[in-house]
Amino acid sequence: MRQTTICLLTLTFLFSACAPAKQVAVEQVPNYQPTPEAAPVRVGVVLAPKLVEVQDAVKRVFKDAAVVDSSYKPNFLAGDFNGDSSQDLAVVLKPANLDEMNQELQPWLIRDPRNGKSARKELQLQKDEPFLAVIHGYGSNDWRDQQATQTYVLKNVVGNDLKVQSGNEFISEHSGRKIPHPQGDLIGETLQGTAGYIYFATSSYAWYDPKTFTGETPKGTIHQRPMR
């Protein structure tokens, strides 16, 4: 009996040894591990101004003292006119309340870009006189921002065919000529039959006529009324 038991155990051991081993599935690591997709970079998009937005900006700065002059086409455009990397608004306006436009403590600067001495004296607008208002941008919303109120009122420079031209385009187009050094984008237009540009120089706006330009006025200290 004991021999029979030993034989059975021996047979069981041999059978188990001969049986195929149970395979365990092991997940293989791929040679290439894809990296997480990088988050898209947000690129700022400059939106073209709409009339209702322009009217809101004019109302914010001038209240009821001026309105958009619809007799000019186009009568508004946007660009970085003072070179601070913020979008500004240039819009053709006309006085709606002359007393308010010429008030003693004006919250804007009235300048005549065609007269270099204008910054040294008080200027006033005349009845129904069109002017170009440049509202400088502020904060993340540029000229649309509710705190964007720094504004230049430019006399004697309202022309036709207003367009924006970058500083690089301007320099390339006028290569070989004596030209100014604008700090930002320029406003091109046809004024009294002459094609020229309005540009920001140092602390105010100036007029460039390619036929008569002889050079920029040397930089000096000019007293300016504090901006609101």
pTM for the model stands at 0.74
What is the predicted pLDDT for the residue at 224?
Answer: 42
Q: Using 50 as the pLDDT threshold, list the residues of the chain that sit under it.
A: 2-19, 21-22, 24-43, 118, 220-228
pLDDT computed for residue 124 by the predictor: 94
For residue 130, whether the previous peptide bond is cis, meaning omega lies within 30 degrees of 0, is: no
How far apart CA 70 and CA 154 sit, in angstroms, is: 17
CB-side exposure of 47: number of CA atoms within 13 Å? Answer: 9
pLDDT 10s digits, 116-134? 654 556 899 999 999 999 9
Phi, psi at 160, each rounded to 5°:
-115, 165
One-letter amino acid at 9 equals L
Determine if residue 131 is left, alpha or beta; phi over 0 gives left, psi from -120 to 50 gives alpha, anything else beta.
Answer: beta
- What tens digit of pLDDT does each residue of 197-226 get? 999 988 899 999 988 887 766 554 433 444
Q: How far apart are CA 19 and CA 36, in angstroms?
A: 46
Strand, helix or coil at 77?
A: strand
**Partners of residue 187 on adjacent β-strands:** 164, 198
pLDDT for the residue numbered 65: 98
Mean pLDDT of the chain: 81
- Residue 127: the pLDDT is 94
User: Alpha-carbon distance 87 to 220, whole Å?
Assistant: 27
- From CA 180, how far away is CA 196, in angstroms rounded? 12
What is the per-residue pLDDT for 202?
A: 83
Decide: 159 and 210 in contact? Cβ < 8 Å: no
Give me the half-sphere count of Cα atoms (radius 13 Å) on the Cβ side of residue 68. 21
